[in-house]
Structure 1
Amino acid sequence: MKLKYFFPMVIAALATFVTSCSDEDVVSYLDNVRVTSSYVALPAEGGSTSIDVTASGDWTISDIPEWVTVSPTSGSGNTTVTFTAPATSKSNEAYVTIECNGDKQMLKVMQMAEKVELAVSTCAEVNKGSDNVSYRIKGAVTKIENTTYGNMYINDGTGEVYIYGTLDAKGAEKNFSSLGIEVGDVVDCEGPRVTHNGTIELKNVTVNSITKSLIKVDSTYVAGEMGNTLPLEGGELTAYVSCKGKGVSVDIPEDAKDWLSIAAIRNGGTEVVFKAAPNTGGDRSTTITFTTTDGKKEYTSKVDIAQKGAIVPVSVADFIATEVGNAQYRLTGLVTKVDDAASGKYYISDYTGQVYVYKASGEVALNDVVTIVGKHAEYKGTPQVGSGKLEEICASAEPISLADFNAAEDSNDKFYVLTGKITEIANDKYGNVYIEDETGEKVYLYGVYGDWTGENKQYFIKDNAIAVGDTITVVTIKTSNKNAPQGKNAVCFGVKKAE
């Protein structure tokens, strides 16, 4: 019988490392058997570690060394296998064999009594790697997000890795400032990889070495005051740079060159003046890179420059069509679903579509008509409103049946949510239509618009090809004309085309 063998690359780990069993950590692939980790690491003080075995049929584990216990040693299909070893004063390692239907998976089992020095991985390798594996990287600090915990980004030229937490020299948390790490420094650090909300991180890393950068941006000033944000109308920003290398070069990203330029370089490159053009769009920002060299190696320091912009009013569809960035948009919509009101997580819709709002300030309720301002963010490829701010709750509406709406008292202050199929368009200029529900009850809407402000009242129905047979959702008040009930000045927040 012909057998297949698979010997995965083994990455050395600390003695305290525990393997993960999530589906995303499956790293070895054979036709008939696969495991969730290419190795098992047991603590020197003794203990257990588990992996998952996924097999197409019956499987067995053989070549088990005396110093480790495996349970179970055979099974069928998907099984969790536990490896247990007592405390040890010396390091142990061996390979066990998992066999199923002719396929053999070789799995390394190790119990290290001393710390194993990790080889340096590239940032690209970390980003392609697996969670719950310890990695060591070396690269330049490009951004520091939190100076207490030590959250920062490190780039080695192959990619960038987010560091979530940096331990101090004694292994303690929340003492990042004691390390003296600054943007531009080259840091050698190591820690376990985790994934949080789609972001790959090395968590609570240990710093092995810090190589100070030969260049540093000390401060930036706008109009005589320290800061990095230019006004809407444009202006100048001055960056003050300390350099111990040979010369200074300045790099402005291509996508910012149409609005940001260098106006002057003074004092041997230690004072650089940038000029920003007036901004007719939303908020924008860029990152400037300052570079020097010691003749052998380049050193960099980076600084963010931002410019305030106008807030652009958009429909949901237009918002979704914009690019991810810092531009600010204003949307008005009906709250159609609330995931977490307190933390500002909900969905809004208008007549063009629906979008998710993530962590907007201000608390809303289902069926509120809200106006929010935020930027185009994205989560796993899906657009969402990020960094949002609730500007206004325009109305709090009550869902109601068409029959109950017709029977309700007239009021200019009470808003209702109605849904019905258009049975007749009496006037497509002003949007006078009849809608009907599944019971046959009808409501006359005297004016249907797409804009809560009421500025664009005419031809909304015609311009958006809304026709008889389409189902619409509107927010309206209840009035009467010659004792006949009607909705007035209805705003459309949903359209379902007739099939």
Structure 2
Amino acid sequence: MTISPSSGSASSEPQTVTVTVTDNTGSDRTATIKFSANNGTVSKNLTVKQTGPEGEPEIEITTVADFLKAEVSDDVWYTLKGQITDLYNTEYGNFTLVDETGSVKVYGLTAEKVNKNDKSFSTLGLKEGDIVTLCGTRDEYNGEDQVGGPSYYISHEEGELPEPEPVNAVYFNDFDKEAAQNNDGWPFLDSFDGWKNETGSGAGSVTYESSGASARTTGGSAGGYSNYDGSGVNNIFFGKDAYFQVGNITLGTETNYTLSFGTEKFDQGGDSQFMHEEFHVYISNDGTKWVELDYSFPNGAPNGKWDLASTTFTVPSGTSALYFYFNADVASVYRLDDLMLAVSSEAGTSIDFSKGTEIGGGGETPDAPAEITVADFIKAPVDDNVYYILTGEITDLYNTEYGNFTLVDETGSVKVYGLTAEKVSSNDKSFSTLGLKEGDVVTLCGTRAEYKGEIQVGGPAYYISHEPGTEEPEDPVDPDSPFVSNVTWTLGTNSYNEKATVNGEGPVDVVKIGKSKAKGSIDITLPAGTTKVNFYAVSWNNETATLSFMMGGEEVGFQAIAKNAGAANSQPYTFTVTESDYYTFNTPMPLPSDMTITVTTQENARAILWGIKAITE
């Protein structure tokens, strides 16, 4: 394909560009021509399509194994084909995709290519077992590989999952009645019933006890990270001093049984070799005195993968019920799934319940939360089982539905990602009942959490007490100040309304776009007649950001932003700026009506904007 002319000077007269394409003797093909002006700040794409005698080109499929080897990038798209398994969210389209080379989580599938998940998955009529072809980016979240984008649908073939072989189980639980949701923390077993999916001849009157154990969908037992055909969806994660007990499994007259369970040890950045001496299994006939069971794996203890462990034993004649107790000596590395007790055709280890020992039956009582400063809280390790009490001033209250704000004491500041009236497993939106406002001094209790590298109080945190603040009202900024915006914007992904002092003037309303290494965006509403937009902007203190401007789904410009030492830590920021931090974006033409422009940062760079002013004719 040749283009003539390929460049030229600006002119007020229409210009003709000739595109010449050679004969196509192969498959249908397309190419994109990008027209740019104003030193690249304004651009428009033209797609040229040419049919060929061979028709539609064959889609190049990337295997899951090759996809997982690729680098994380939002800019490179891959076409994958595989079977839908573990479909745990039918609203957004979250499932595991499996082909002959491995498995990967698909975090959202839409009917067409869109910038944000539009919840169109349900219109596709897909189900578990179907073979789907999709296109998505290589993504990662909290160390877990996934298909992002969101991915979009190309085609599918009807399919079915193989029916599980019938098992004459006395007790079986795959923990998959309802997929657990990570709403400011995974739910503990005593506050969520979605893992109670027991079946079997002896499961009618079972009881459960637990502490420090939570239900999770991450790190599942299905797919490429498992040496057995695990059920996936939920698994039980053992946190600090965690245990899980299932009791009162009713027996028949048989005495020989096999207990099997899927388990995994995975220590990110550490040793993932499964150690029997770290993960204990006990049996009891009364839930009081326990005998430890030896168990084994088909091919030896696994390393960083799931496998199915089992043990066969013989109980005394007349035993009417059994209890099993699982606990881990090492926190946050062991998991459990697919627990089954079945009658065995062979005798096993003889169990003498009279030699059982008391192990507490319910684990140790967790320590009372420690009262610490923000500085000490930040130094603590991430752990969703350890709670801390903090006291500080509420600032930057940016979400009054869930209770999201920044907590400040004399030692530092930290983001509180959700505050509830009482301790709950997931945010119940009770923050508004507390009557809290910016400036109040609140005492709360929460866990040391982290999201995409940003330290935060999780749990969700719950309220203990507060003292009304005596904060003096802020002096309003002169509305004619160059630092005040004359447009409105809507927050998109990873964007936040914040405050700053600029050249000694403030507080000024600013908007931060981007979070840690993740890109962010906002939508600015421009009035009819707008010809350009002036704004102040700075990049994070150790980064150089580039803003992309989109209108009507097309990129219409971009702007590099200089870094500023004041763009660091948390708000309120203090900036010293000059005219070099003042930027102008020219619209392609005077806007015929009110329109929306999307401003986006790229990965690994954050930007802060203010004084956004639309200039009209």
| TM-score range normalised by the length of the shorter chain | 0.3 to 0.5
Larger CA Rg, structure 1 vs 2: 1
Q: What's the TM-score once normalised by structure 1's chain length?
A: 0.43
Work out which structure has the larger RCO, using CA pairs closer than 8 Å and 6 or more positions apart in sequence. Answer: 2
Greater strand share, 1 or 2?
Answer: 1
